[in-house]
Chains A and B, each alone.
Chain A
Amino acid sequence: MNFDITRRMLAAEILKLRRNRTIMTVACLLTFGMMALTFGYDAIQHASNPTQHGPAGGLLGFGRAVKSLGLYFALLAASLIGTEAGTADISSGVFRDLVATGRSRLVLFGVRAPAAILVTFALTGTTFLLSIALSFVLAGGQPTPSLSLILQSAGWILLCNAVVCAFAVGVGSPTGSRGATLVTVIGWQTVATELLLHIQSLGSARDALLTPGLGQLMPVPGDVAGISMAAGLAVAVVAAWAIVPTLIGGWRTQTTDA
């Protein structure tokens, strides 16, 4: 398969996602909207009581923004967009028409996650730019993030997006059900993971969860569930959360009846 077909298929996949108004509106609210709301709330608090509440921006504000964007807001947006990318062809019934073109099922599956990552990062990237701007504008004389920290943070947010998108596409492709996939991905990340993290008796088994792995790689100061692990282990855990669902999704796409 040549590069031109891959590029066109990726463009078609992105088209399907960005033209879905409902998904894109909700994803915008979860990223751009939530970030604006957070900074706005902190700015009002600072303005009303500067002694108790520090400036909304600066290094601290930037750190809060990066953490919430990578672990919460972008996670929800990536789950939504990844789920749509993973399930849209199957749930609409178009998958069989795509298979009937003779194009490899693995290729059809393979363009889903990159498209979801690109669309998600377009939103989170814009939101990240907003958070950088607000960190400087609302710094209130506090230190501001360095270029190096900004670049590292951008890379980390992209990593968070990519892993969650791949996870959602991997879960969604075999089921073809938006509802089941969304509940699985968001439920696992926001409910099940939080519960498991608080069960102290699980000990180091909790290292296998995605959130502590991402937290360990986070470039800004902050603690995620009080778990620390070696950077190498964190990379392995994060990679496994992207690769294993992708392999399962690809295998099921290849073998299941269309």
Chain B
Amino acid sequence: MTNTPIIETQQLSKRFGERQAVLDLNLEVPRGSAFGFLGHNGAGKTTLIRMLLGLTAPSTGTMHMLGRALPQAHSEVLARVGAIVEEPHFHQHLTGRENLRVIAAARGSEAMDRIEGSLRRVGLLDRGDDRVRTYSQGMRQRLGVARCLLPDPELLILDEPMNGLDPGGILELRTMVRDLVGEGRTVFLSSHLLDEVEKTCDAAAVIDRGRLIAQGPIDTLLAQDRAELEIGCGQTHLALDVLDGHPAVINARETLDGIRLILTEIGAAAQINSTLVESGVPVFRLEPVRHSLEQRFLEITSRVGEAQS
């Protein structure tokens, strides 16, 4: 049970009239991790979340959450899930504490007892008696997280939780997500802020035009099909001449302080270094080029886009 994915979908699809919002989605979210769910606006991220939470019914396919089939076990499963969908909404005329009471009332007496702790955890204890209409966007996001904590959730589903947060707020949220994961919870974090997902999450999935196009640990997602190597060296023209026709080199070009190579595999770096040194090229730095999640995301989604067009 503990090794089963906390969220699992199979061939999950959702159609709104003529528009296919999600198509044949096979997603697996590992337990006890921070999982990023990436996609452009309108890619289908929120639609998936809405299906998981029972806000809209899937057209076809199956869903499991916390090891239970949905929608059959929705009420039992959702009692252990906290969620923010799109942006957190509240009754503007009620205070933050009263808004939590409204949701806690639907969850049960234990949730009522967690209101103060939840407010304290998100740093809103001293503003809990102020009306929500006086809250900033960042405070509303934090109140939304406090609302998610009311059921003492095994799983938190946060849809674009960093929207409207200032850099300090983003850092706080990142720390909170890691703390929550440290407590053994799973955080499913939908976002288009790729840099934040890279810094916060252990694993991620990329969705584009309703289709899942990649998923796995962040490191695996960042890994390239081909290896790229940055070499700091003198005599760059000599270096390029030496490497011209080398079997491990696919492409070579000059940079400001050396050359950049695309290799058949990163293991060839040592051999390249030997060749250059033996040819009299002074090498002072070798560094594999690490692509950001943003670069990978754009690369993956544009590749899919080209294939579809």
Contacts and interface: CB of A to CB of B under 8 A. Distances in A.
Given A5-B108, A99-B55, A100-B83, 4 more contacts: A15-B94, A97-B89, A98-B103, A100-B81
B53 A16 contact: no
Contact of B109 (A4, A12, A99): A4
Nearest to B91: A92
Nearest to B132: A92
A204 interface: no
Contact of B78 (A19, A88, A94, A100): A100
Contacts of A100: 53-55, 78, 81, 83, 85
A108 interface: yes
A8 B94 contact: no
Contacts of A101: 78-79, 103, 106-107, 151
Give the one of B53, B91, B104 with max A CB within 10 A: B91
Given A19-B94, A92-B91, A258-B55, A102 B105 contact: no
Interface of B: 50, 53-56, 74-79, 81, 83, 85, 88-94, 98-99, 101-109, 112, 147, 151
Nearest to A256: B56
20 contacts: A5-B106, A9-B105, A12-B101, A15-B98, A20-B93, A92-B92, A94-B89, A96-B85, A97-B85, A97-B88, A98-B102, A99-B53, A100-B83, A101-B106, A101-B107, A102-B76, A102-B79, A104-B75, A257-B50, A258-B54
Contact of A8 (B54, B77, B105): B105
B109 A15 contact: no
Nearest to B77: A102
A4 B113 CA distance: 14
Nearest to A4: B109
Q: In terms of DSSP, what is the predominant structure of the interface of chain A?
A: helix
Contacts of A97: 83, 85, 88-89, 103, 147
Nearest to B78: A102
A101 B78 CA distance: 6
A88 B81 contact: no
Interface string A1-35: 00011001101100110011100000000000000
A77 to B, nearest CB: 18
A187 interface: no
A5 B105 contact: yes
Given A19-B98, A257-B56, A12 B90 contact: no
Contacts of B89: 92-94, 96-97
Contacts, number: 92
Contact of B90 (A9, A11, A92, A108): A92
A21 to B, nearest CB: 7
Contacts of B55: 96, 99-100, 257-258
A5 B94 CA distance: 20
Give the one of A20, A92, A102, A108 with max B CB within 10 A: A102
Interface string A173-208: 000000000000000000000000000000000000
Contacts of B91: 16, 88, 92, 94
B106 A9 contact: yes
Give the one of A8, A92, A96, A100 with max B CB within 10 A: A100
Contact of B102 (A5, A94, A96): A94
Interface string A95-125: 0111111111000100000000000000000
Contacts of A108: 106
Nearest to A15: B98
A11 B106 CA distance: 11
A15 B54 CA distance: 26
Contacts of A104: 75
